[in-house]
Amino acid sequence: MIDIHCHLLPGIDDGSKSLDDSLAMARHAVNAGIKKIVATPHITPGRYDNSLKTIQPVFENLKASIIAENIPLEISFAAELRFDPIIMDLVNNDELPILGEYEGERLILLEFPHSHIPPGSEELIQWLADRGVRILIAHPERNRSVLGDIEKITPLVKSGCLLQITGGSLTGVFNDAARQCGVELLKRGWVSIIASDAHNLHARCPELEPARKEAEKIVGEEASLEMVFGRPEKISKSHFQNHQS
C-alpha cells in the first residue's frame, strides 16, 4: 500500500517529534503493509512556515537514516497545504509542493480549516484549475461544515476536486460523526484516496489496512484497493520513478 498523506518528517509540524519517532513510524508502516510514503508536512502560514526548501534537508536526513537502518520503505515528500492565498504565490514562483499527477494535471493536497470551508474556495480552485493544478481535499469528513451538511462539499466535488478521507475516521479514531460522514462519502462514490494522515504511533498511526477493510464493506474489495494502492501509486509515480528501475 502507498500512503500519500503522512506527517512522517521529524520536528517540522505537529507530526513526528524526533528522528527516532520517524524511524519507529517507518517500521510500523512497513509492518502494516505500507511500501511507500509521500511525507506531507503542514504548510500553514504563521504556524508551520515550511517550504520545499526547508522540508528538503529534513527529508534527506530521514531518508538516509531509513536506508542506514535497512527499513524497506521508500519515501518522498510533498506537503499538506492549508487553504491560504500563499498558494497563489507558490504557483507563481514555481514552488508548489506537488503530491503527484492526476489525469495529466499536477495534484496538490489541500487542507481547509477544520471549522469551515472558507469563502473563496471555489474561486481559488478555479484559479488553480486554469493553471493545470488539481486538488485532493484532505479529510473533508472531519470538517465541521461538512459534518453539519454534507452538501457543503458537493460544489467542490462537482468542480473536479478529489477527496481523501483519513483511515482513522473509518475505524473510529475520531468520533462517530466523522465515521458516518466518511461512510456517506464512500457511498456516494466521492472518495478517491484513503490515507493515514499519521502523526505518531499513539492515536494516529501509519496504517491503512483496517480502514481499507471498513471501506470494502461499502464499496467492495476492488474499489477499496484502488484507494490505498492503485490510485496513490498512479498519483505518486513521479516521486518514485528513480527507484523503480
**Contacting residues toward Fe ion, per CB under 5 A:** 80, 197
Q: Strand 2-6 to strand 133-138: parallel, antiparallel, or no bridges (unpaired)?
A: unpaired
Count CB neighbours of 40 within 10 A: 29
**Phi and psi at residue 118, in whole multiples of 5°?**
-65, 150
Tell me whether residue 14 or residue 216 sits nearer to Fe ion (CB atom): 14
Tell me whether residue 80 or residue 141 sits nearer to Fe ion (CB atom): 80
Q: How far is the CB of 43 from Fe ion (least distance, A)?
A: 11
Residues 8, 83: Cα–Cα separation, whole Å:
21
Per the CB < 8 A criterion, the answer to whether 194 and 168 are in contact is no
Tell me whether residue 17 or residue 187 sits nearer to Fe ion (CB atom): 17
- Cα–Cα distances in angstroms (integers) from residue 74 to residues 3, 23, 27, 103, in the given order: 11, 12, 12, 24
Tell me whether residue 49 or residue 69 sits nearer to Fe ion (CB atom): 49
User: At 176, which helix (H) or strand (E)?
Assistant: helix 176-187
Q: How far is the CB of 185 from Fe ion (least distance, A)?
A: 17
Residue 20 CA from chain centroid, whole number? 22
Residue 141 CA from chain centroid, whole number? 13
Q: How far is the CB of 26 from Fe ion (least distance, A)?
A: 17
- Nearest to Fe ion by Cβ — which residue? 197
Tell me whether residue 80 or residue 214 sits nearer to Fe ion (CB atom): 80
- Cα–Cα distances in angstroms (integers) from residue 172 to residues 94, 109, 169, 238, in the given order: 39, 23, 5, 33
Q: How far is the CB of 206 from Fe ion (least distance, A)?
A: 12
Tell me whether residue 96 or residue 136 sits nearer to Fe ion (CB atom): 136
Q: How far is the CB of 111 from Fe ion (least distance, A)?
A: 6
Q: How far is the CB of 207 from Fe ion (least distance, A)?
A: 15
Residues 225, 1: Cα–Cα separation, whole Å:
8
* Three cell numbers written together for 43: 504548510
Maximal C-alpha separation, the chain: 48
Per the CB < 8 A criterion, the answer to whether 78 and 135 are in contact is no
Q: How far is the CB of 198 from Fe ion (least distance, A)?
A: 9
Tell me whether residue 13 or residue 226 sits nearer to Fe ion (CB atom): 13
